[in-house]
Amino acid sequence: MLESLFAPRGVAVIGASQTPSKLGYGVARNLVMSGYKGALHFVNPSGGELFGRPMVRSVAEIPDPVDLAMIIIPARAVPGALEDCGKRGIPSVIIGSGGFRETGEEGAELERVCLDIAARYGIRIIGPNCIGYLDTHLPIDTSFLPLPGPIPGDIAFISHSGAICEAVIDWARGQGFGLSRLLSLGNQMDLTESDVLAPTAADPETRVVALYLEGVGDGPTFVNQATAVSKKIPIVAIKVGRSARGRAAVASHTGALAGEEAAFEAAMRKSGVLRATTSEALFDWARALAWCPLPPGRKVAVLTNAGGPGAIAADALDAQGLELSDLGQATQTALAELLPAAASLRNPVDMLASAGPHEYAHGLRLLLEDSQVDAVMVILPPPPVSTAADIAAALIPEIQTADKPVVVALMGEDLILQAARLFRQARVPDYRFPERAASALRVLVERAERLAQPDEPPLKPAVAHTEAARRTLETCPVKDGFLPPNICLELAQAYGLSVPKSRLVHSADKAAETSEEIGFPVALKIVASQLTHKSDVGGVALDLIDPAQVRAAYERVTEQPKQSAPDAEITGVLVQEMLPPGQEVILGMVRDPQFGPLLMFGSGGVEVEGLRDTAFALPPLTPHELDQMLGSTWAGRRLEGYRHLPAGDRQAVADGLTALGQMAIDLPTLMEVEINPLLVFARGKGASALDIRIRVGPSL
C-alpha cells in the first residue's frame, strides 16, 4: 500500500538549492540529517554539489533507484517536472510548492493539468501546498521544517495544515512524547486522508493515529477506511469549522437541524473515531491511548495528598460520565494501616500532605488490587516533604506493571518538571490538572467499550419493495421539489411504514364525501410544499365528526393560511383518519454532500425545533447504533414509559428508522424525508406516519 511513498528505495529533490534561505535547501538538509538510508538525488538545472552530493541537471539524469520525488519549484513549472517524473518512471511524488487551488481558478487549472499528467503515468501525489512527510523510524524527512524534528515515538499525525505540523513537532518535543510518522496533505489533489490512513496505521511503530481535518473529501470512503483501522488501533481526530453555516436548500425540520457538524459527528461515531474538541485534548488522548492498558470498566479511584484536588477530580470524573469506585473493605483496612489516622480512606483517597514515595507507591498498589477499581488517577501537587521526582520514581514501577490504566495529574510547574521528565521517559501520561486526566480516562473507557461491541450486521427492513419505489419515482412528474402526498404515502408503504387512511381532495364536498368513506372522526391538512408548520398558519383541523364540520373546516384550512402566507401554493387538502393518541416522535433524513444519507430521530410534533431533542446517525444502522440513537434522546427514553405515560412501541420506531435508512440508500434522488409526527402507540400496537414530506432532486 503506497510502498514507493512510505518505503522508498531512493528519493529525488527536484528544486534542491544551495541557498539556505530557499525551501529546496531545507528539504535536502532534512533528508540528509534524518539519516535516510536510501539513495538521495538532488536535481537543479545549474548542477553543482550539495551536502557532498552532486546535483544532476534534469530528472532524466537521476540514477537508479528512485521511487519518490519531492518537487519544490514554482507552481507554473510543476507540470513539466511531473511529466519528467512520469517519463523517468517515478511512481510517487510530493508537491511542496504553493500557488495552486488555494490561490484561485488559475491555480485550480494547474492542479487539473497535473492530475491529467499523473493519471497518464500512474503517479500518486501528496500535495500540492504541503510540507511532505517524515517517519522517525525509517527514518526519512521530506519536509523543509526547521530542525530539530520530532523525537521517535508511537503517535502518527496526519494533517490538512502544514503550519499545524510545524507547531505539533515543537510542542511534542517540549511535552516529551514522540511521533512515529507525520504527514501534511495540503490541497489533496490526489491522495487524501482516506488513502493514507490505512498505510499509516499499518506502520508497526504506530500505536495511535491523530488527525487534524478541515473536511473530508469522500465521506463514505473515509468511514469505511476509518472503521477498518479503528478495529486495530485507535484514531483520534479534531475537525475545525464546527460553527454552523447553514444550508442553502433545506426545507424541513431535519434539514434545519442537521448541519455539517451533525453529519461529521455521526460519521466519526459510526467509524469509531474518537473526536476531540481541542488540539490539547487530541494529544492528551493520543498519549493515554498509546501508553495505557484499557480499563475493564468505568470505576475510577483517585489517590491524592490534598482534599481540594481530590474534589476537583471527583467533579471532573462525574462530568466525563465516569464513576468513583466504592473501595472494598479490605482496601480501606490496608489503607488505614498505611496512612495517618486523619487520612480519608474513602474515594478520593486523601493521604494528607505528609505522603511521600512509600505512601504513594503502596497506596497505588492497594487501589490497583481492588476488584472494584478499573482505573486510577494519581494527583501529585508539589509535596511539602519529599520531591515530586522522588514520588514519581516510586510510582513508575507500580504503573508499568499494572494491567489497569493509571494517569497522573501532576499539578504545578517549576517544582514538578523533573517528575514530568521521569513520567514521560517511562511512558506514563501526565496532565497538569485533574480535568484533563479525567478526559483521558474517559477516552480509554470509550475505546474499551467500542472494542467490546460485537460485530453486528446492519439492520434490514422487513419490507423493501425497492423496484416498485423506483418505478413510482420515475413516473412521478416532480423531478426536483416536493413530492405529492399520495406519492409520499406510496414510498412509505413500499418500505413497510404504516400510514393512516388518507386521500387528497380539492373541494369541500369531496372532502365531506371522502370523510364518510374513510370513517369519522377525520383530520384535514392542507398540502403546500412551502409550508413546514401547517398548524401555525391554520392549515390543520382535527377531530371532525360529521360532513358539516368537514365542509366548514375545508373552507377554514384553505383560507386562513393565505393571511400569513399569501404566496404559499395550496395544491389540495388531505383527508386523513384520526388515530388514537400516542407519543409523537420525528423521523427524518437529509442527504449530506460529504457523507450521504443522515438519519434523525427525536421529539416530534410542533415543538421539534424548539426542543432540539434529536440524534443523528448514518445508515445502515446496527442494533447498537439504533440503541444509541434512541437512548440519547428524551423521546427515545420516554418510549419505555414515564409517570402516567404508558410505554410506547419502541420496536415500531426502530423498524421505522431502519426502513427510512434503507429507503435513503436505495433511492439516491431523495434529498429530504421527514415523518413528523410518527405517532407511536402502546407497546405492541405499532406506529403510524401521520405526515410525510419528501423532497427529491438530482442524486449527489
Average pLDDT over residues 470-483: 90
Residue 301's SS3 state is: strand
Average pLDDT over residues 583-601: 95
Q: Is-contact 657 587, C-beta < 8 A?
A: yes
Based on the domain organization, do 323 and 191 belong to the same domain? no
End of a domain among 186, 206, 226? 206
Average pLDDT over residues 193-206: 97
Based on the domain organization, do 524 and 416 belong to the same domain? no
Based on the domain organization, do 312 and 417 belong to the same domain? yes
In a domain, 353, yes or no: yes
Instruction: Tell me how far apart the alpha carbons of residues 630 and 269 are, in angstroms, rounded to a whole number.
Output: 15
In a domain, 268, yes or no: no
Average pLDDT over residues 453-464: 94
Based on the domain organization, do 304 and 197 belong to the same domain? no
List the CATH number of the domain containing 305: 3.40.50.261
Based on the domain organization, do 144 and 25 belong to the same domain? yes
Is the pLDDT at 499 greater than 90? The verdict is yes
Q: How many CB atoms lie within 10 A of CB 659?
A: 24
- Establish whether the linkage from the previous residue to 397 is cis, with ω within 30° of 0: no
Average pLDDT over residues 389-397: 98
Q: Pick the closest to residue 434 from 583, 613, 314 (CA basis).
A: 314
Helical residues (DSSP H) of 98-147, grouped into ranges: 105-121
In a domain, 586, yes or no: no
Q: Is-contact 692 585, C-beta < 8 A?
A: no
At residue 652, what are phi and psi to the nearest 5 degrees?
A: -65, -35
List the CATH number of the domain containing 33: 3.40.50.720
Provide the domain count of the chain: 3
Based on the domain organization, do 182 and 313 belong to the same domain? no
Evaluated on CA atoms 660, 662, 667, 670, the torsion sign reads: positive
Ramachandran sector of residue 251 (left: φ over 0; alpha: ψ -120 to 50; beta: rest): alpha
> Dihedral angle at the C-alpha atoms of 106, 111, 112, 116, nearest 10 degrees?
140
Based on the domain organization, do 80 and 168 belong to the same domain? yes
Q: What is the pLDDT of residues 212-266, one digit of tens each?
A: 998 888 999 999 999 999 999 999 999 987 554 434 433 444 445 555 788 999 9
Query: What percent of the chain is predicted at pLDDT more than 90?
Result: 85
Bridge-based pairing of strands 208-213 and 152-159 is parallel
Based on the domain organization, do 444 and 567 belong to the same domain? no
Residue 179's SS3 state is: strand
Enumerate the β-bridge partners of residue 431. Answer: 409
Average pLDDT over residues 532-548: 87
End of a domain among 452, 468, 485? 452
Q: What is the pLDDT of residues 621-679, one digit of tens each?
A: 999 999 999 999 999 999 999 888 899 999 999 999 999 999 999 999 999 999 999 99
Instruction: Tell me how far apart the alpha carbons of residues 319 and 210 are, in angstroms, rounded to a whole number.
Output: 24
Q: Pick the closest to residue 657 from 696, 700, 699, 628 (CA basis).
A: 628
Q: What is the pLDDT of residue 513?
A: 94
Ramachandran sector of residue 186 (left: φ over 0; alpha: ψ -120 to 50; beta: rest): left
Q: Which three cell numbers stand for residue 676?
A: 413528523
Based on the domain organization, do 526 and 442 belong to the same domain? no
Domain range spanning residue 393? 292-452
Q: Is-contact 72 13, C-beta < 8 A?
A: yes
What is the Cα 637 distance to its own chain's centre? 24
Q: Which three cell numbers stand for residue 447?
A: 475505546
- Convert 518-583 into a string of H (helix), E (strand) and C (coil): HCCCEEEEEECCCCCCCHHHCCEEEEECCHHHHHHHHHHHHHHHHHHCCCCCCCEEEEEECCCCCE
End of a domain among 429, 452, 475? 452
**H or E segment to which residue 343 belongs:** none
Q: Is-contact 411 430, C-beta < 8 A?
A: no
Is the pLDDT at 480 greater than 90? The verdict is no
Enumerate the β-bridge partners of residue 56. Answer: 43
Q: What is the pLDDT of residues 29-81, one digit of tens each?
A: 999 999 999 999 999 999 999 999 999 999 999 999 999 999 999 999 999 99
Bridge-based pairing of strands 481-482 and 692-696 is antiparallel
Average pLDDT over residues 433-437: 97
Instruction: Tell me how far apart the alpha carbons of residues 142 and 271 are, in angstroms, rounded to a whole number.
Output: 31
